[in-house]
Amino acid sequence: MIDLRLLREDPDLIRASQRLRGESTDLVDDLLRADAERRAATQRFEAVRAEQRSIGKEVAKASGDERAALLTRTKDLAVEVKAAEAAAGEAEQALKRAHMAVSNVVEGAPPGGEDDFVVLREVGDLPQIENPKDHLEIGEALRAIDTERGAKVSGSRFYFLTGVGALLQLGMLQLAIQQAVEHGFIPSITPTLVRPESMEGTGYLGAHASEVYRLEADDLYLVGTSEVALAAYHSNEILDLDGPRRYAGWSSCYRREAGSHGKDVRGILRVHQFDKVEMFSFCRPEDAAEEHQRLLAMEEEMLAKVEIPYRVIDVAAGDLGSSAVRKFDCEAWVPSQNRYREVTSTSNTTTFQARRLNIRYRDDNGKPQTVATLNGTLATTRWLIPILENHQQPDGSVRVPKALQPFLGGRDVLEPFK
């Protein structure tokens, strides 16, 4: 949620952000109105309750007609207090709904929509591969990826990773955790089922609700990223922050991929289940922009270790999720498609998620303030695509990047299990 003080002081800033996102400015007016109505309802409730308490004290001292009149007024006030309390509660709920509807305030992102990103840099030389095979053809030949049996067992967009495919993913994720620990991140294996308030607190029950799996009988949600569990880890807490508190969460992730029917159906690019190591930081708001660059540098370090060409893009405002004020994506080169495809994202969500989840820190004066939160992908199943394709050899084998070799039993080439 955005800061209501900022809304009151500069509503035009919020309206401008909504326009950059391609979202309605009416939502800002709705929030302003709900905020004013909630404050008025609260003041009304407090006023009649204060009068009720005052008269209660007077009744004890009064007698005769005066006491009778005060008792009559007391009865009337009891009705008024109950009604005012109910009205204040309704106004509070209306404010919450209006507050949840307004996205975070964009900071520095380019204007435009999905195709209006800005390329910040391209890193690495594109491999010269004659008639490159795609990752599925490579993976099937190595007996590393099995989408046919995945579909037989679970349906479309499911798969098995077997043999060197399983080893490659496990090695990549272990390399990511190793790097994270070296940089001071706390490793964590997180729950993949979370309560509604955790999902709502991170902003995934708004525009992205259709992508989320829900276990209705238990009122739990399957996460699409460990960001959700890591963000909620410190909900309703006050943290002691000497510096950013950083976590690296390893989890399986689940996405319905609603709205992507017929899109990227081949292979493992767009699937319902995958594994990921996600970085998550809690820091002071004034440190958030610097922390964002740190997470991006971590992603680039990992991409360098697996030796694949990539580019970094600054995502346009109209393509940001509701929680993010700015997002950088790393896109890896995929030879079979002759294009870059997204493999990491890192988002600065400032105080938006923490305000929903009630996560605070004590400032230098000991006063509780809302923390900033940031997240970023460090490695995920999708990375197998550019790793297999960029390192494919003419004989059908795949070269293993040097940094991954210790995690694959010293293998320098991927070959099928015998």
Binding residues for L-serine: 225-227, 278, 377
Burial track 266-302 (b if 16+ CB lie within 10 A, e otherwise):
ebbbebbbbbbbbbbbbbbeebbbebbebbbebbbeb
CA 156, CA 103: separation in Å to the nearest integer?
33
DSSP annotation of 17: H
> What residues pair up with 346 in beta bridges, in sequence order?
328, 376
DSSP annotation of 392: B
Q: Is 255 a catalytic residue?
A: yes
* Known binding-site positions for ATP: 255-257, 271, 342-345
* Catalytic entry in 245, 246, 255, 411: 255
DSSP collapsed to 3 states, 72-83: HHHHHHHHHHHH
CA 2, CA 156: separation in Å to the nearest integer?
39
Neighbours of 111 (CB within 10 A): 13
* Catalytic entry in 382, 389, 397, 411: 382
CA 280, CA 246: separation in Å to the nearest integer?
6
Whether 229 contacts 350, CB under 8 Å: no
3-state SS, residue 101: coil
* Known binding-site positions: 225-227, 255-257, 271, 278, 342-345, 377
Residue 191: phi and psi, rounded to 5, are -65, 145
Residue 265: phi and psi, rounded to 5, are -85, -20
| Length of the chain measured in residues | 418
* Catalytic entry in 44, 73, 214, 270: 270
Q: What residue type is assigned to position 404 of the chain?
A: L
Q: Is 345 a catalytic residue?
A: yes
* Token pair 């030949």 in the structure block, residue: 141
Q: Is 382 a catalytic residue?
A: yes
Segment holding 100, helix H or strand E: helix 64-100
Neighbours of 23 (CB within 10 A): 18
Whether 393 contacts 400, CB under 8 Å: no
CA 382, CA 293: separation in Å to the nearest integer?
23
CA 328, CA 311: separation in Å to the nearest integer?
10
CA 60, CA 218: separation in Å to the nearest integer?
52
Active site residues: 255, 270, 342, 345, 382
